[in-house]
Structure 1
Amino acid sequence: MAIIKLSAIERRRLSAFVTCLVIAVFAWLFTSLSNPYRYTVKQVITFRNAPLRRAFHPLQSDTIDAVVQGTGWQMLVNKMNDEQRPVSIDLHTLDNKSFIVLNTQLKQINLAKDLNHQIIAFTPDTLFFDFSNRMTKRVPVQLVSKINYQKQFAQSDNVKIQPDYVTISGPAEVLARINSWKTDSVKLTGVNESYSSRVALLPAREGNLDILPKTVIVNIPIDEFTEKTMEIPVRLINNHNYYDVKVFPQKVKVTFTTSLTNYPDASEDDFEAVADLDKWRINGYNALPVKITRLPSYGKVVKIEPQNIDFIVKK
C-alpha cells in the first residue's frame, strides 16, 4: 500500500487547512443554530377556573401539539428532552360555551414563558367538551402513609383526620366510582413521638372534579411500648349440649405489649380468653388451645402460659 510522504511545509499547510475547515464548520453550525425556527413539541394540558355550575368532560387527549418559535439551540434541546411541559388553559368561558379556542389565549399562556421560546399556534386549536349535571358527594379521607418507628415505639391509638370527609363535585358517572379520597403520602423514619401536621389531598386527575377542602390535619398517636403480664380467666365456648365441663387451670397468664400511657389502665376486663369445646367434640383434642379474642387496641400478645388447658367433661 502506497504511503504519501509529506514534507514539513506540506504537513503544516494540511494542518492549517484542517483547522480552518473545523473552525468554519463550527462557525456555520453556531450561526445556523442561533437563527429562529418554528418547530412542534408535545405539551400536556391542565385546566383552571373550571365552571362552577357545569360538569365537563374533555372530548380529546390531554396532550396537544404546540408550534413554538425559538432558536435552533432551543429546538435541539427540545428534541433531546421528551419531557412534556404543561400548558394551563383558562375555562371560565365554558359557563356559556362548549368549546375553548386556544389561540385566543396565546398571549396569556406566553406570559409565563421565555420571550425567546414563544408558542405560535396549537394543533388542534379548539378543545371541545361534553357537559352533564354537576353533583356533589361526601367521601371519607384515606391516609396514605409509610412510617418507620424507632425501636419499642409504635402507633398507640386510632389516627385522627380533621375533617375526615371531603366534598367532591363533578359528573354523576365519575362520582359513582369514587368511595374515598387519598392524601399525599406521609413518609416518616425513626419516629419516637406523636405526629401532627397538615397534609395535602391528592389532586383530581380529571379536570372536571373539584375537591374541598384541599388539605386535612392528620394526628397519629405514637408511644413507647412495653410488656405486661396479667392472669385472664378462660371462657368455654361451643358447649352445645351443656356438658358439665371443668377446665384446668381456670386462668392463663397473658404477656402482651401496651403503650406506656395505657399501661396503668390495662385490666382483665380488656381481655377475653376462650377455649373451644368443639376441638374435643369434633376433632378429638385431649387438651384445648387457648385463644385471645379481645385485647386492648394496638396491643399484641407475646405469649400465653399455658397455651393449652386440660378439661374434664361430665355427661
Structure 2
Amino acid sequence: MAIIKLSAIERRRLSAFVTCLVLAIFAWLFTSLSNPYKYTVRRVVSFRNAPQKRAFHPLQPDTVNAIVQGTGWQMLFSKFDEDKKTIDVDLRTLDVKNYVVLSAQLRQINAKREVGREIIAINPDTLFFDFSSRTVKRVPVELVTAITYQKQFSQSGNVIIKPRYVTISGPAEALNRITSWKTDTIKLNDANEDFNARVNLRGSKEGNLNVLPRSVRVNIPVDEYTEKTIEVPVKLVNNHNYYDVKIFPQKVKVTLTTSLGNYPDLNEDDFEAVADLELWRHSGYSVLPVKVTRLPSYSKVVKIEPQNIDFIIKK
C-alpha cells in the first residue's frame, strides 16, 4: 500500500485547512441553529377552573400537538426539555358551552412560557366534552409506603390515618371504577422512630374529578424489637369423639420478637397454641406438631420448644 509522505510545510498547510473547515462547519451550525423555526411538540393538557355543577368527560385524548415558534437550538433540545410539559386549559366556558377553543387562550397559555418560545397554534384547536350528572362518593384512603427500617426496628402498631375516608365528586361512570384513593408515597430509610406528618393525596388524572380533603395526617408507630420467651399451654383441637387424651408436655416455650413497648405486658393469655388430633386419626401421626394460632399484633414467632408433643389416648 502506497503511503503519502508530506513535508513539514505540507503538514502544516493540511492542519490549517482541517482547522478552518471545522471552524467553518461550527460557524454554519451556530448560525443555522440561531435562526427562528416552527416545530411541533406533544403536550399534556391540564384542566383548571373546572365547572362545579357539571360533570364532564373529554371526548379526545389528553395530549395535543403544539406548534412552537423558537430557535433551532430550542428545537434541537425540545425532546430533552422536561419543563413546561403541560398546557393549562381554562374550563370556565364549559358553564355555558360543551367545548373549549384553545386558540382563544393562547395569550394566557404563553404567559407562563419563556419569551421567544411561544406556542403559535395547537392541534386540535377545539376540545369537546360530554356532560353527565355529578355524583359524590366516599372511599377509603390507601396509604402508599416505601419504608426500610433500621436494624431491630419495625412497625409496632396499626397505622392511623385521619381522616380515614375522602370524598370524591364527578361523573357516576368514573366514580364506579374507584374503590380507594392513594396517597403520595411515604419514603423513609433506616426508620427508627414514629412517623407523624401530613401526607398529600395523589392528584386526579382526570380534570372532572374533585377530591376533598387534599391531604391526610398519617401516624406510623415504630419501635425497637427484642426477643421474649413465654410458656404457653397447648390446647387440643378436633377431638370430635371426645377421647380422653393426655398430652406431654402440657406447655411449650414460645420465643418471639416483640416491641419494647409491648414487652412488659405480654403473658400467656395473649397466645394460643394448638395441637390437632385429626393428624392422628387420618394421617397416623405418632406425635402432634404445635402451632401458634393467636399472638399479639406485630409480633413474630421465632421458635417453639418442643415443636412436637407426645400424647396418650385412654380408651
Provide the TM-score with structure 1 as the length reference. 0.91
Could you tell me the percent identity over the aligned residues? 67
How large is the RMSD of aligned CA atoms in angstroms? 2.4
The alignment partner of 2:173 has SS state of helix
Q: 1:39 to 1:312 in 2, by over 3 A?
A: same
* Structure 2 match to 1:214: 214
* Structure 1 match to 2:314: 314
* Structure 2 match to 1:282: 282
Q: 1:4 to 1:154 in 2, by over 3 A?
A: closer
1:73-92 aligned at under 5 Å gives the runs 73-78=73-78, 80-81=79-80, 85-92=85-92
The alignment partner of 2:109 has SS state of helix
Q: 1:118 to 1:270 in 2, by over 3 A?
A: same
Q: Please report how far the alpha carbon of residue 7 of structure 1 lies from its aligned counterpart in structure 2 after TM superposition.
A: 11
C-alpha distance in structure 2 between counterparts of 1:5 and 1:301, whole Å: 85
Q: Please report how far the alpha carbon of residue 193 of structure 1 lies from its aligned counterpart in structure 2 after TM superposition.
A: 1.0
* Structure 1 match to 2:41: 41
The alignment partner of 1:122 has SS state of strand
**What per-residue deviation string (whole Å, max 9, x for no partner) do you get for residues 249-305 of structure 1?**
111111111111111111211111111110111111111111110011111111111
The alignment partner of 1:282 has SS state of helix
C-alpha distance in structure 2 between counterparts of 1:250 and 1:194, whole Å: 40
* Structure 2 match to 1:105: 105
* Structure 2 match to 1:139: 139
C-alpha distance in structure 2 between counterparts of 1:160 and 1:6, whole Å: 84
C-alpha distance in structure 2 between counterparts of 1:245 and 1:43, whole Å: 76
* Structure 1 match to 2:253: 253
C-alpha distance in structure 1 between counterparts of 2:276 and 2:27, whole Å: 91
* Structure 2 match to 1:70: 70
Does 2:224 align with 1:224?
yes
The alignment partner of 1:158 has SS state of coil
C-alpha distance in structure 2 between counterparts of 1:29 and 1:221, whole Å: 61
Q: 1:76 to 1:276 in 2, by over 3 A?
A: same
Q: 1:236 to 1:20 in 2, by over 3 A?
A: closer
Q: Please report how far the alpha carbon of residue 35 of structure 1 lies from its aligned counterpart in structure 2 after TM superposition.
A: 2.7
The alignment partner of 2:76 has SS state of helix
Q: Please report how far the alpha carbon of residue 2 of structure 1 lies from its aligned counterpart in structure 2 after TM superposition.
A: 11
Aligned residue type for 1:95: D
* Structure 1 match to 2:296: 296
The alignment partner of 2:291 has SS state of strand
Q: 1:244 to 1:106 in 2, by over 3 A?
A: same
The alignment partner of 1:261 has SS state of coil
The alignment partner of 1:109 has SS state of helix
The alignment partner of 2:279 has SS state of helix
Aligned residue type for 2:300: K
The alignment partner of 1:131 has SS state of strand
C-alpha distance in structure 1 between counterparts of 2:292 and 2:15, whole Å: 91
The alignment partner of 1:75 has SS state of helix
User: Greater shift after overlay, 12-21 or 215-224?
Assistant: 12-21
**What per-residue deviation string (whole Å, max 9, x for no partner) do you get for residues 36-67 of structure 1?**
22222221111111111111111111111112
User: Greater shift after overlay, 270-279 or 196-205?
Assistant: 196-205
The alignment partner of 2:184 has SS state of strand
Q: 1:147 to 1:32 in 2, by over 3 A?
A: closer
Does 2:160 align with 1:163?
no
* Structure 2 match to 1:96: 96
Q: Please report how far the alpha carbon of residue 3 of structure 1 lies from its aligned counterpart in structure 2 after TM superposition.
A: 7.1
The alignment partner of 2:139 has SS state of strand
The alignment partner of 2:264 has SS state of helix
Instruction: Give the count of matched residue pairs.
Output: 313
- Where structure 2 has 5 or more consecutive residues not aligned to the other structure, the ranges are none
C-alpha distance in structure 2 between counterparts of 1:28 and 1:303, whole Å: 77
The alignment partner of 2:144 has SS state of strand
The alignment partner of 1:184 has SS state of coil
Q: Please report how far the alpha carbon of residue 22 of structure 1 lies from its aligned counterpart in structure 2 after TM superposition.
A: 5.7
Q: Please report how far the alpha carbon of residue 213 of structure 1 lies from its aligned counterpart in structure 2 after TM superposition.
A: 1.2
Provide the TM-score with structure 2 as the length reference. 0.91
Q: Please report how far the alpha carbon of residue 26 of structure 1 lies from its aligned counterpart in structure 2 after TM superposition.
A: 4.5
* Structure 2 match to 1:128: 128
Does 2:188 align with 1:188?
yes
Q: 1:24 to 1:253 in 2, by over 3 A?
A: closer
